[in-house]
Structure 1
Amino acid sequence: MRSVKFQFAWVSAGRLLGAALQALTLVLVARRLGPEEFGLLGAVIAAAMIPQVVCDLGLGTLILKARAIEPNNRTVAVALKLNRVTSIVGSLVFAVGVGALAFFFDSRFYWMLPLAVWVGAEKNADVSAGVLIADGRAHLSSVLLFGRRAMILLSTIGFLALDFNAAFAFSLASAGSSLVAAVVTGVLVSKRVQPARLGGVRRLLERARPYWIHSMATQVRSVDTLATAALAGPVQAGYYTAASRVTNPLRIVPTSLAAVLLPELARSSGVMSASTRKGIIALLIALGGLFAVLAAGAPWYVPLVLGSAYDGAILPLQIVLIGLVFGSAASMLVSVLQARGLQASVGRISIGSSLVYLVCLAVTAPVWGATGAALSLSLSFIVQSLLLLTRTLRAPSRLNRAREKVSA
């Protein structure tokens, strides 16, 4: 099995490069659309997370953990097959939702209909790639992710050169590139997993439910742009989209480590070595310093990168950067607790922190716009990380609890 450092290096590199390409793509689209239309696109992208998470059913995390503990278990094959079905359902639901928005509210949403294909294809590719990570083949997963993001960027540039509407160019590029990635990933994974009939679904969903609850609660934050648009208007949503979405690459390092930690700790029933613990602490300190520097320099690089029209995004960006320190800690603590068999506790904590977020957003966004949304997001990260840390300290790893059965 490849070492944690090797896996982490590949996953981080692939996700960082992919996120950088994604950020560059969004910057190009933002400059072409302007704050108002970019706010609409950002709201749709945020809303896309809803069918992705709802239709995931917790299968992604279950596959990652089950494959790590018992590679030949039929659970993985059944979950992958079920995931393909739910991905199609997610795409159809999203298409109906965007079509309704375009028909009843604003015809500009029609340009974003191709994102319906992206919703299902992206989810299917990411869940399938979990098998590669659990098998110690993170380099394959990283190459596939980088290739997908590069295709989206190049396709978007090509469509813009043909004078396509910028929102349509991005949507069409995302749909086509993710569909290709899903097919390629599926072929690679099918060679590593023994086929199985789609049976025992009820039992499978019962085991996946705690992971699903966590994902659902966490992804409530993904409606931030949509909620900000509704509460404070599309311009403020555009500012907030610039602050929250362009900073997504900064979350890649901690989430990459979390993705690698889960299967590794699952094999050891949640036992963490001293070197791993010190490495996590050192990483969080380094990220805190990086985020502080970026927050201080925001008044300089935001107008330079996005243009003067996005000056209103400076303060929200600084607030989000502070919150990301706590968000990074939360990502890693989630993996530790899930590896110890405490996924139910993780779900409850995620629900609580998301409720804090929604209440604060409803109060602050109408008053302070993008700044209020950023404050709400950061506060939810703080609450979540503190609760997860408390639960971790109260629950030392126990071999007989974490080594849960993975047979279907």
Structure 2
Amino acid sequence: MRSFISQYGRLIIGRGGSALLQAATLVALARLSSIKDFGIYATGVALGAICIGVFGAGLPTLVLRTEARDSTGLAGSALMIGALGAGATGGVVAVVLALIVPAAPGSIITAAAIFAASELWLNLVQNVLLGTQQEKLATWIIVLRRAVPLAVLLLAASVSWSSYEGFFLGSILISLGSLLAVWRFRRRVTTLRNLWTLARHFWLANIASMFQQLDVIFIRQGIGNGPAAAYAAAFRLASPIHIVTTAITAKLVPALAAEDDMAHRTVRQRKYMLTGVAYSVLVLVASPAAGIIGPVLLGAQYEEYHWVFVLTLVNSAFSVLNQIQAAILYAYGRARVVARATIISVVLGLALVVVGAAIGSLIIAVAGTISIQVILVICLAVLLRKGNR
């Protein structure tokens, strides 16, 4: 236990603080706006996640494998392409959200667009820092990316501004400020062809994973803003569950990728998997409490959806296992098989989500979401087993 804390303590504390701040931001936005407006914003965030998968080009995952010296110029090139991708992400989210929700307020459209752009950029920044062994600076970025938007949001609300206006201003501030952390990489570049060769399979895996975010859009279109808002809020509130797994995978990928001794690799892999299984069981046991905590935090209008919060944690328990298994395969350079497994699971699970949305059944839609994780757990476990033979 002591070695676990010493190895992952800083990242877990940083990500823990970040997740709590993100949850506080979610609660603030939900309480300071109507469930209808929050449902529109949640739809924009879902669109943003899809665009991040497309325009991120797999770079945030790839740069975790960057060497400390970055002699290849991978980080600089990834940051340049990532900046363009962030701009494209924000633009597409704004246009598509305005088209599918014509009555959406401008402040909500802008908040969703800028949040999506900043998420792509800041994911890339923090992973460049983690990949180049700058853990302390990366932890600051992890915390500040949530603290600054929340602080500006609360300040805006206190002077009668729109909470969404404060939120997107805060997102702009931290995105611009993060340039200072990676400015030294600006002259270290590699060719686009080399970058594409390295990133393409990570890109496919990320796209497949992010397309799961279509679930919120399907639910909103088929069942309504209220169910979509509750569904999206439940998943956002469950995000702190992934503090531990994200911290582990941030260490896992660089460590396994650099390990040449097969015996040591096997020992490390078994250790990571056992940790993931234990944590997944803990999340599963704790899931009933989410049905009480969620509505208390978000307000009475979410009480009828208490069961959604419970099932969201069940989904997270399976997701924990998938994050660990996928990270091990990424470290071994097997992003292609992760992409294939993810595509299969997302297509099959989303089909059930569509059925649920079409017949107006939220419980069937949620079951579809959980099935994505269950199918992926099985696929990745088979792939890992084959790879170890």
TM-score normalized with structure 1 length: 0.87
* Cross-structure match for 2:86: 87
String of CA shifts for 1:66-88, please: whole Å, max 9, x gaps. 336x7311232222222222222
Is the contact made by 1:4 and 1:260 (CA closer than 8 Å) also made in structure 2? no
Q: Give the distance between the partners of 1:365 and 1:320, measured in 2 at CA.
A: 17
CA–CA separation in structure 2 for the residues paired with 1:107 and 1:338:
39
Aligned mate of 2:353, from 358, 361, 364: 361
Q: Compute the displacement of 1:101 (Å).
A: 4.1
5+ residue gaps, structure 1, are: 398-408
Separation (CA, whole Å) in 2 of partners of 1:355 and 1:242: 23
Q: Within 5 A, what are the aligned runs for 1:71-110?
A: 71-101=70-100, 105-108=102-105, 110=107
After TM superposition, the structure 1 = structure 2 runs for residues 386-401 of structure 1, keeping only pairs within 5 Å, are 386-396=378-388
**Structure 1 residue 174, shift from structure 2 partner:** 3.5
Q: Which residue of 1 aligns with 2:328?
A: 336
**Cα distance in 2 between the residues matched to 1:6 and 1:215:** 30
Match of 1:57 in 2: 57
Give the structure 1 partner of residue 200 of structure 2.
Answer: 209
Distance in 2 (CA, whole Å) between partners of 1:298 and 1:87 is: 33
Q: Which residue of 2 aligns with 1:137?
A: 134
**Partner of residue 289, structure 2:** 297
Tell me the distance in 1 between the aligned counterparts of 2:196 and 2:91.
Answer: 21
Name the structure, 1 or 2, with higher relative contact order (CA <8 Å, separation 6+).
1
Provide the aligned C-alpha RMSD in A: 2.4
Q: How far did residue 333 of structure 1 move? A: 0.7
Task: Give 1:115 deviation, angstroms.
Answer: 3.3
Query: Partner letter of residue 240 of structure 1?
Result: Y
Q: What is residue 284 of structure 1 aligned with on the other side?
A: 277
Q: Is 2:40–2:225's contact at 8 Å kept on the other side of the alignment?
A: yes
Map 1:301-320 → 2, pairs under 5 A: 301-320=293-312
Aligned to 1:9: 9
| Residues 65 and 134 in structure 1, CA contact (< 8 A), matched pair in contact too | yes
2:337 aligned residue (345, 354, 361): 345
Asked whether the equivalents of residues 237 and 370 of structure 1 are also in contact (C-alpha less than 8 Å), the reply is no
Secondary structure of 2:57 counterpart: coil
For residues 212 and 4 of structure 1, do their structure 2 counterparts lie closer, same or farther at Cα, with a shift above 3 Å needed? Answer: farther
Matched, 1:272 2:271: no
How far apart are residue 122 of structure 1 and its match?
2.7
* Residues in 2 aligned to 1:212 and 1:279: alpha-carbon distance in whole angstroms: 24
Note closer, same or farther for the CA distance 1:31–1:8 as it changes in structure 2 (3 Å cut): same
Provide the C-alpha distance between the structure 2 equivalents of 1:242 and 1:6, rounded to a whole number of angstroms. 33
- Judging changes above 3 Å, is the alpha-carbon distance between structure 1 residues 50 and 303 closer, same or farther for their aligned structure 2 residues? closer
CA distance in 2 between partners of 1:301 and 1:236 (Å): 18
Identity %: 22
Q: CA deviation at 1:312?
A: 2.4
What is the number of equivalent residue pairs in this alignment? Answer: 385
Question: Is 1:113 matched up with 2:110?
Answer: yes
Compute the displacement of 1:164 (Å): 3.0
CA contact (8 A) 2:40 2:108 kept: no
State how far apart, in whole Å, the 2-side matches of 1:298 and 1:224 are: 21
Q: CA deviation at 1:347?
A: 0.6
Residues 276-303 of structure 1: per-residue CA shift (max 9 Å, x gap): 623541343234224422x222343333
Residues in 2 aligned to 1:227 and 1:21: alpha-carbon distance in whole angstroms: 28
Q: Does 1:200 align with 2:199?
A: no
Contact 1:38/1:238 (CA < 8 Å) preserved in 2?
A: yes
1: distance between equivalents of 2:328 and 2:225?
A: 39
Distance 1:290 1:346 in 2: 24
Q: Which amino acid aligns with 1:316?
A: V
Using the alignment, how far apart are the partners of 2:136 and 2:43 within structure 1?
A: 32
Q: Deviations over 1:196-236 (max 9, x none)?
A: 45x62133213211000000000112222122101111111
Q: 1:350 to 1:267 in 2, by over 3 A?
A: same
Whichever residue aligns with residue 375 of structure 2, its letter is V
Any idea what SS the aligned residue of 2:180 has? helix
* Residues 148 and 173 (structure 1), Cα distance of their counterparts in 2 relative to 1, 3 Å cut: farther
| TM-score normalised by structure 2 residue count | 0.91
> Any idea what the Cα deviations from partners look like across 1:41-82, whole Å, max 9, x if unmatched?
1111111112222111112222221336x7311232222222
What 5-or-longer segments of structure 2 have no aligned partner? none
Aligned residue in 1 for 2:218: 227
Kindly indicate whether the alpha-carbon contact (under 8 Å) linking 1:46 and 1:222 is maintained by their aligned counterparts in 2.
yes
